[in-house]
A and B are shown apart, each in its own frame.
Chain A
Amino acid sequence: DSGVTQTPKHLITATGQRVTLRCSPRSGDLSVYWYQQSLDQGLQFLIQYYNGEERAKGNILERFSAQQFPDLHSELNLSSLELGDSALYFCASSVVPQTLGDYGYTFGSGTRLTVV
């Protein structure tokens, strides 16, 4: 157990639907990162939050949004889902975003999203 908790582990939904993925960071970590992993794209950075504020944004689609709450958990919302959104979605956390220290990120076990 890495200490980063992601729920649900698996999600199957239909095209056009909306889903919410949840992440609880490791205790003491203030920064949360969301990544998408598909077979052809590898790990792609989506968005980062630090202590409740958006810190960096990657190639995140307008249909996707995220937020970090006061208790530091984060949610990634995916709407108007398309078949191509099927992927593994990972959350990671770190203490200090600027340097990542000697241990980089700590990743959760991911949410596997299947859009049918």
Chain B
Amino acid sequence: EDQVTQSPEALRLQEGESSSLNCSYTVSGLRGLFWYRQDPGKGPEFLFTLYSAGEEKEKERLKATLTKKESFLHITAPKPEDSATYLCAVLPRYNQGGKLIFGQGTELSVKP
């Protein structure tokens, strides 16, 4: 069964304290892995798509990497405005309908 597991469930950082979020996945063929950011009471906002092992993408203080079994979202020198829930999702290769399988998310809190 296709599955996505994110860890930790919650992460508290001080402003400027870099860290990483993990997304482990089990899927029968990966078409793409997606990272989203979700603020409380709002819809998820797209961050990155990764397609193959070894691929990396960056946006401001965020950098996403992908291996054959997991993805990391590295946050460098975070600011309070980076506080949000970060969601990872996979699109299986066999999937004809575009259904994304989401993890439970990591709730990030950055204190000044």
Q: What residues make up the interface of A, taking CB atoms closer than 8 Å to B?
A: 2, 4, 31, 33, 42-43, 45, 48, 50, 55-56, 58, 88, 90, 92, 94, 96-110, 112
Contact = CB atoms under 8 A, between A and B. Distances in A.
A110 B89 CA distance: 18
A43 B46 CA distance: 15
Contact of A33 (B31, B98, B101, B103): B98
Given A33-B98, A45-B99, A104-B36, A99 B43 contact: no
Contacts of A43: 44, 87, 89, 102
Interface in B53-94: 87, 89, 91
A33 B99 contact: yes
Contacts, number: 81
Contacts of A96: 98
17 contacts: A4-B43, A33-B100, A42-B104, A43-B87, A43-B89, A45-B100, A48-B99, A88-B41, A94-B98, A99-B98, A100-B34, A100-B49, A100-B100, A103-B49, A105-B46, A110-B41, A110-B43
Contacts of A108: 43
B96 A104 contact: no
